[in-house]
Amino acid sequence: MISFLFLFSSIFFYYIISIKTKDYLHPLGIGIFLWFFTAGIANISSLYDAGIQQNISLETNCIVYLSGIFFIFPFVFSYRLNKLVFEEKKIYFGLQYKVFFNTLLIFSFLNFLLRFKLVLLNPPFFNLDGVIDIKSIVPPALPIINLFDVLTPFLAVFCLFELFFSSSLKRSRIILLVCFILFSIILSVFYKVSRGELVIIILAFIYFYSLPRKFKFSLKYFTISSILVFSFIYLGVSRISNESRVSTQFGDGFLNIIFSQIYTYIAMNFQNLNALINSNFTPTYFWGGMKFILYPFFKADYESNLVGLTDFNTDFFNAKTYLYYFINDMGVLGAFLYSLVIGLVIQSIYNVSVRNIKFFVFLACLLKPIAFMFFGNYFFGDNIIFLPYLFIFLLILMLRTAHFSK
């Protein structure tokens, strides 16, 4: 019954938001659909492995459901999207932007050469056999210049944005942008074996491709989306070991490999959240949610966990949904307050984007945090997650929206 409620609500609220805003790609609509849909899957007890899973409590489900309502509440203030604006306006990528952006591309590439200099001809992706933890064979990120490493997929998003919406593009510029996108994909897949970075690029491409178009089934659109999604799943299958999959009712063989991986990444996060909510944890008030600001000043306290963070997890899976540390900080109030604030920020960016289309690139960069709320907090969980958004905003300020005549 609870599972059905979540699944029904995912469709219902997505439909309401899409109708109200005239946008089936509204970020709050996408967010609530995936949040409720994954919560519904996580509540299907017939798929449980009795050894490591238990029924999610009514209290946990109520918090998950109401936090979703708080997250989408700001949609009532949403402007409507008129897609004709994409025919009337284009983005002007001026000299100031190109100089700064190209400099970031160079530093990103140099960081790659320095970090992976010892494995340039033997990427980690081709050495996965017998490896339980892929991170053990990926060279560690370099201090200080790690920022350019983290920026790489977001720079690829800006490359896509320029290709889709630039008022003018020279052939040399197109070649540069395409080459960096390919470089970012190769880096994510073969060197970092990072689904997280790959999905940033995939979601941005699908978003930019769909954004100016009215919803209409297209074989071309379906094919492109399927290839990109399959690439993401394949990378996940390659990375996750058999020991890290939850045993489900999907049988053996290929189907078990695919569906068990997907199910693991959906269900176990809610199991960890459930463990926290049903424990006697002590609120930390702000240490979890504000870690992205506090960590640089209290590194030793976090590493020794003097701040009191509760880290319940299963034997092999430590993802916890985006709510985990908000609840660890302030209990139920944290779940509702942070969800509302995140929803308000996203809705504010959306309203600005409707009036000035250059800000849609910010929403494209936020699609991973929005789509994977069921997995973790990618909005501002750590300092290195939050910093790229400052550079994204700075790049956007250098752009100019101009009327375009065909």
Nearest alpha-carbon partner for 274 in 49, 64, 33: 64
pLDDT tens, the chain, 406 aa long: 899 999 999 999 999 999 999 999 999 999 999 999 999 999 999 888 887 889 999 999 999 999 999 999 999 999 999 988 888 888 999 999 999 999 999 999 999 999 999 999 889 888 766 555 666 788 988 888 888 999 999 999 999 999 999 988 999 999 999 999 999 999 998 999 888 899 999 999 999 999 987 766 566 656 666 666 666 565 555 555 555 555 556 666 666 667 777 888 889 999 999 999 999 999 999 999 999 889 888 999 999 999 999 987 666 678 899 999 999 999 999 999 999 999 999 999 999 999 999 999 999 999 999 999 999 999 988 777 888 999 999 999 999 987 665 5
* Burial 320-333, CB ≥16 within 10 A → b, else e: bbbbbbbbbbbeee
Q: Where are the alpha helices (DSSP H) in 242-382?
A: 254-277, 291-294, 299-303, 324-330, 332-355, 360-365, 367-371
Three-state secondary structure call for residue 46: helix
* Burial 104-114, CB ≥16 within 10 A → b, else e: bbebbeebbee
pLDDT digits (tens, 9 = 90+) for 247-270: 556 666 666 667 777 888 889 999
Q: How far apart are CA 347 and CA 345, in angstroms?
A: 5
pLDDT digits (tens, 9 = 90+) for 194-237: 888 999 999 999 999 999 877 665 666 566 666 666 665 655 55
Q: Is the separation of the CB atoms in 392 and 299 below 8 Å?
A: no
Nearest alpha-carbon partner for 197 in 236, 224, 165: 236
